[in-house]
Amino acid sequence: MSFTEVDVQNALKNLIDPNTKKDFVSGKSVKNIKVAGADVALEILLGYPAKSVWDEIRASVEAHLKSALPGVGKISVSVSSKVVPHAVQRGVKLVEGVKNIIAVASGKGGVGKSTTAVNLALALAAEGARVGMLDADIYGPSQPTMLGISGQPESKDGKSMEPMLSHGLQAMSIGFLINDIDTPMVWRGPMVTQALEQLLHQTRWDNLDYLVVDLPPGTGDVQLTLAQKVPVTGAVIVTTPQDIALLDARKGLKMFEKVGIKIVGVVENMSTHICSNCGHEEHIFGAGGGEKMCADYNTEFLGGLPLDIRIREQADSGKPTVVADPDGNLAKVYKQMARRIAVKIAEMAQDHSAAFPKIVVQNT
């Protein structure tokens, strides 16, 4: 039985991508279909990093085509990912070397935001993306410790800084620039916001798919500067199930909505406590708060993480969970969340500003 490229495309309209929940054709992932006799070759190009599920997707496409195309011969499917820049707030200048910026925020301190931010960044990198981490918490920088980085960044031209490297991430933090980690930053707001802008724009980020920004808690100067001067693709809110944490998380969510930054979703940290002795799981901070908040504000619940001593120990030792135990259950949860964040960003409007020619007016 003979078939054409159109037949192959029609067959793939019935196969759903488990990550986007859309079929591969309407998701514009099917590329370069070639039919030679009874043999079929094609590419699946995903708009999000998903290295850990490439083989799974390849196998499902091959199996689907075998059943949908009677008499098909050899099926050759290549799966890859390509991340493109997506739209940000209007009138905000893009950052050189960075395609997308993901802000990780919380309404209050102590909810595990920095730990979540670094593990999400590492999970995106594990899925094959080029990822950077900007520690925007000027008063309490924690990423140097969590990433196990010591020393100061180099400057090759005397004007800009090379990012520090750890576990495959490019990183920058005020913590790299102060000699004593115990020295408090006794700065007023304008100094803090200027420091944030310098860390962002004077770092030579090298072709990043995503820059994860670990924000300080609250809705103050740094968050406002981020909204007005930093091109943010989307924000992730971290909370715990406690009523008081959720109250503050709602304020953070509303702040981003007011300034025109899209909310990617909400992560609920410390959802349950798992006893290290017996394995008993208990909702010690309450249950369902993050999901209810998402329902109230029509945003996505990205998932819950347990209160687990390993997450804290691994982050404190400079090897966060995703690199300390890459095949463990906790790393799996972070990777699922990271993949979901990347999928949601891939579904946003693309940024085509780089495609427009620059118009120069000059006297002749």
Q: What is the dihedral of CA 252, 254, 257, 261, to 10 degrees?
A: 0
What is the separation of C-alpha 291 from the centre of its chain, rounded to a whole number of angstroms? Answer: 20
Query: Which CATH code fits 5-81?
Result: 3.30.300.130
Distance CA 347, CA 338 (A): 14
Within 13 Å, how many C-alpha atoms sit on residue 121's CB side? Answer: 34
Per-residue pLDDT tens over the stretch 240-294: 887 777 777 888 788 888 878 899 999 988 777 777 778 777 777 667 777 888 8
Q: What is the pLDDT of residue 72?
A: 86
Token duo for residue 45: 């190009």
Residue 357: pLDDT over 60: no
Residue 361 — very low, low, confident or very high, per pLDDT cuts 50/70/90? low
Q: What is the pLDDT of residue 184?
A: 62
Per-residue pLDDT tens over the stretch 303-353: 888 888 888 889 988 999 999 999 999 999 999 999 999 999 999 877 666
Per-residue pLDDT tens over the stretch 310-323: 888 899 889 999 99
Domain residue ranges in the chain: 5-81, 98-346
pTM of this structure: 0.88
Radius of gyration of the chain (CA): 22
Distance CA 118, CA 89 (A): 24
Q: Where are the beta strands (DSSP E) in the chain?
A: 30-36, 39-46, 75-81, 98-105, 131-135, 164-166, 169-173, 208-214, 234-239, 263-268, 273-274, 281-282, 301-304
Superfamily in which the 98-346 domain is placed by CATH:
P-loop containing nucleotide triphosphate hydrolases (3.40.50.300)
Residue 117: pLDDT over 90: yes
